[in-house]
Amino acid sequence: DAGVTQSPTHLIKTRGQQVTLRCSPKSGHDTVSWYQQALGQGPQFIFQYYEEEERQRGNFPDRFSGHQFPNYSSELNVNALLLGDSALYLCASSFKLLGQMGEKLFFGSGTQLSVL
């Protein structure tokens, strides 16, 4: 049973560039959330996708956008990269929305983004 898979594992970009990160949820899961984890910090919620719609968003600027596909996979896009965007980007999947049956979030290993 494949868990949450993310690609790429590592990425180096320069300021001002755009980046797309990809995530495939755990088998049987239909909800994808994205988190940003800065070095030495806990993960911070970016947004969540369910039924191909953004359901909730954390305190991140519009430069962060996403998409969910009919097969439940998801992309995170970041435009106009800043040095401060350097972080581990984690994708987490669950079955349905949190608070119903999906409290158990399963995280992928993340994409380490470095902005130079």
What does the per-residue mask of binding to other proteins show for 40-59, with x meaning CB under 8 A?
xxxxxx--x-x----xx-x-
φ and ψ of 108, to 5 deg: -80, 180
Whether the Cβ atoms of residue 76 and residue 20 lie closer than 8 Å to each other? yes
Q: How far is the CB of 19 from other proteins (least distance, A)?
A: 19
DSSP strand pairing (10-13 vs 111-115): parallel
Closer CB to other proteins, residue 28 or residue 42? 42
First to last CA, the chain: 37
Closer CB to other proteins, residue 75 or residue 107? 107
Q: Is 65 in the site for other proteins (CB under 8 A)?
A: no
